[in-house]
Structure 1
Amino acid sequence: MTTLTNKDIEIAMRAADQFQKMFYATYDSSGRIEELPKLYRPNSSLSWNGKPYQGVEGVRNLLTKMPASKHEVQSYDCHPIPGGQPPSLLIVVSGTVVHGKNTQANSSAPPSKVIDDQPRVFSQTFMLVPDPDATKTAAGEVAKYYITADTYRFVG
């Protein structure tokens, strides 16, 4: 088993910071249906409020049903998982999200059962694993990851 060093934890936290900023900016953009699925692989799993979706196509199918959104991340935490170099990452994010026509994203999606324009608290947990197809990074650099598991849940 690989022991994590302080440097591993520092790199993991930088990766988590970059990931969560990029993920929610993409999720809230008008191009999300094309761009967000690129972060997943065919074997990735997503659970959205208890409903399972599988792989890139499952993510794309969910996004096409969702109204426009605006996420505000209030906190996140990252736990590097020992066993590989770079380590896999468990990232837990919490914040608020608004769905509906008054967001900045494309609102052409069909309406959902979520009350439009009302902020809701969410919690999202990601398991990121190093992308074996990505170019190797130099020591101290943030690795390229993809989402292997994703669980999204409204809290309130």
Structure 2
Amino acid sequence: MSDFNSIASAFAGHYYTTFDNYEARDGLASLYRPESMLTWEGSQLQGASSIVEQLKKPELKVVKHQIASQDSQPAPGNGVLVTVTGSLAIDNAFDKPMLFTETFNLAPIPGQPGGFFIYNQIFRLVFG
């Protein structure tokens, strides 16, 4: 079995670095497939174009994530389950960060050894 912790760490680093650069955010589309699903604050989306459209909404133009923790486990079919917690600032409101939790189910890309795509993703802001 591959090193799921290394896969999770490399994935999270790439994902949040790309997300935090609005001009590069379209590049996240390569991480999704037609069967990929995102639940964003209770709204469900499927497929790369619908998901990236959500991630590129104007109100999310300036976003900066700060990761507090990351946990991972092996998943069925040689996948990797990744949960990330942290804070994010929107529109440079660094004095008012919002807490979030996000879970990714990474599935192997058939015919591409070592390649993964986001099969499932759940994002929630944490209020409390």
Task: Note whether the superposition's TM-score is higher than 0.5.
Answer: yes
Residue 117 of structure 2 is aligned to residue 146 of structure 1: yes
Match of 2:35 in 1: 43
Is the CA contact 2:22–2:61 (under 8 Å) kept in the aligned structure 1? no
Match of 1:75 in 2: 69
Task: Find the residue that maps to 1:31 and give its secondary structure.
Answer: helix
Residue 84 of structure 2 is aligned to residue 90 of structure 1: no
Q: Deviations over 1:79-123 (max 9, x none)?
A: 1024x3xx11111000000011x2xxxxxxxxxxxxx55200000
Match of 1:155 in 2: 126
Is the CA contact 1:32–1:63 (under 8 Å) kept in the aligned structure 2? no
Q: 106, 109, 127: which one pairs with 1:128?
A: 106
Which structure dedicates a bigger proportion of its chain to strand? Answer: 2
Which structure dedicates a bigger proportion of its chain to helix? Answer: 2
Task: Find the residue that maps to 1:132 and give its secondary structure.
Answer: coil
What's the C-alpha RMSD, in Å, of the aligned pairs? 1.5
5+ residue gaps, structure 2: none
Aligned counterparts of 1:13 and 1:152: Cα–Cα separation in 2 = 20
State the structure with more CA Rg: 1
Residue 44 of structure 2 is aligned to residue 52 of structure 1: yes
Q: Give 4+ residue runs of structure 1 displaced > 2 Å after superposition.
A: 30-33
Task: Identify if the C-alpha distance between structure 1 residues 90 and 51 changes in structure 2 by more than 3 Å, giving closer, same or farther.
Answer: same
Q: How many residue pairs get matched?
A: 124
User: What TM-score comes out, normalization by structure 1 length?
Assistant: 0.74
Aligned counterparts of 1:36 and 1:71: Cα–Cα separation in 2 = 15
User: What TM-score comes out, normalization by structure 2 length?
Assistant: 0.89
